[in-house]
Amino acid sequence: MLRLFALLTWLVLAVGLLSQGVLADPTPSQPTEASEPPAAKRRPTLELGGQVEIQADDGHLGNRNTSDSMPSVDGITRFPAATHLSIRRLRLVLTTHLGEDVDLVVQGHTDTRSDESELRDCYLRVNLPHDLTLLAGQFKVRFGREGLSSSTRTMTIERSDMSRALYQERDLGLNLGGRTSSGLTWDLGIFQGQGLNAGDQNSTKDASLRLVVPAASGLEVGLSGQVGTVQPDGSRLDLPVRRWGTDLRYKKGLWTLESEATWSDGWNKFSRVDSRAFGAYLGNTWNVSKDWDAVLFYDWFDPDLDRVDALVANNAFNARNRVVLGVNYYLDREAPHRLMLNYEVHRPCEGPRVEPDGWRLRYQLRF
């Protein structure tokens, strides 16, 4: 059933793309009179942007493994770490305007903390009639709120464990999105299902759906779903991926509330097996003054609702929560250009008690 649905959606999206002539070879127009000079060839225009994040992480946050002394960005940490300074993200985004309604977006990424340098985004964006937008290539799967948001807009320096474990991030595929006259936005996508910069390991495709409804003044409510399979590295087994989420954003006066919950019955990045998982967060930003925000954020996540490791602080099995107290100082809210300071309190809710509490400091500029 899933394979049939995936095939049909691929066909619909491909026909839409072809009908716009995006994939057709351009046919040079014939000059009407031989005496006229040939028209100058229109070249694509280029636009360069990006962002940089320089970050310090407190060694008390601990490490999830013993391979290095870097403080972890997530999970239950039980190994020592040292305070560390890193380029958390350096992103360069090249947008090529190929035509009036067609852009090619390519984004490169470097992270010295995890020693990563890789391609992140590479996709065609086609604006279609009736407020439709088609994305084709590698880009963020339209699912959830926190994971889908740019790191330049998140409330906290590091995202919740729920988003890190249950959000697909980037994948290779197609997404058709639109907006109705009532303001409802929708996205329907088909993906390989294997994640970032990975080839498909099986013949089935994942499907994703996201709806965002403007429910009341200042309030928007989102619903997301993803179904499919993943074949982990070194395995020949296809594990199911079934995720459903709901989220909201409510802004009133100086306060912005964001919340999200995701249910998963299948593979996730923390358990790495077919398990039932659940996570949620609730965050509030108080716009204290023109340049300052204060943030209070709580999140909870269990990567495997049916198992507990009573002996070891185990990231694959055990539930945990995190409280983040934060302040942001904006040099420019629009860019954004800001300094973020977070203090994170981590507590396992299952298994042995560890208390890897500590601070993070980030300088962030989008250009």
**Quick one: which of 62, 71, 189, 193 contacts Ca ion (CB under 5 A)?**
193
Choose the stretch contacting Ca ion; rule: CB under 5 A; options: 46-54, 123-131, 189-197, 272-280: 189-197
Q: CB-wise, 200 or 247, nearer to Ca ion?
A: 200
Question: Is 161 near Ca ion (CB under 5 A)?
Answer: no
Spatial distance between the Cα atoms of 258 and 285, rounded to a whole number of angstroms? 9
Site string for Ca ion, 203-232 (x = CB under 5 A): -x----------------------------
- 49 and 93 Cβ atoms separated by less than 8 Å: yes
- Which phi and psi (to 5°) does residue 93 adopt? -120, 120
Q: CB-wise, 170 or 360, nearer to Ca ion?
A: 170
Spatial distance between the Cα atoms of 301 and 180, rounded to a whole number of angstroms? 34
276-315: contacts with Ca ion (CB under 5 A)? 302, 304
Single-letter amino acid, residue 219: L
User: Can you read off the two tokens belonging to residue 278?
Assistant: 């659940």
Q: CB-wise, 74 or 200, nearer to Ca ion?
A: 200
Choose the stretch contacting Ca ion; rule: CB under 5 A; options: 38-46, 142-150, 190-198, 283-291: 190-198
Q: CB-wise, 294 or 308, nearer to Ca ion?
A: 308
Spatial distance between the Cα atoms of 5 and 317, rounded to a whole number of angstroms? 33
Site string for Ca ion, 138-157 (x = CB under 5 A): --------------------
Instruction: Give the residue carrying structure tokens 């659940």.
Output: 278
Q: CB-wise, 135 or 277, nearer to Ca ion?
A: 277
Q: CB-wise, 77 or 156, nearer to Ca ion?
A: 77
How many chain residues touch Ca ion (CB under 5 A)?
Answer: 7
- 110 and 50 Cβ atoms separated by less than 8 Å: no
Spatial distance between the Cα atoms of 287 and 266, rounded to a whole number of angstroms? 39
Instruction: Give the residue carrying structure tokens 């493994």.
Output: 65
Spatial distance between the Cα atoms of 310 and 302, rounded to a whole number of angstroms? 14
Output the smallest distance, CB 306 to Ca ion, in A: 7
Question: Is 200 near Ca ion (CB under 5 A)?
Answer: yes
Nearest to 367 by CA among 341, 339, 340, 334: 334
Site string for Ca ion, 73-92 (x = CB under 5 A): --------------------
Instruction: Identify how many contiguous H helices and E strands the chain contains and give both numbers.
Output: 2, 16
Output the smallest distance, CB 27 to Ca ion, in A: 36
Choose the stretch contacting Ca ion; rule: CB under 5 A; options: 67-75, 187-195, 281-289, 327-335: 187-195
Residue nearest to Ca ion according to CB distances in the complex: 193
Spatial distance between the Cα atoms of 307 and 318, rounded to a whole number of angstroms? 7
Q: How many CA atoms lie within 13 A of 323 on its CB side?
A: 5
List the end-to-end C-alpha distance of the chain, in Å, as a whole number.
Answer: 45
Question: Is 171 near Ca ion (CB under 5 A)?
Answer: no
Where along the sequence are the contacts to Ca ion (CB under 5 A)?
192-193, 200, 202, 204, 302, 304
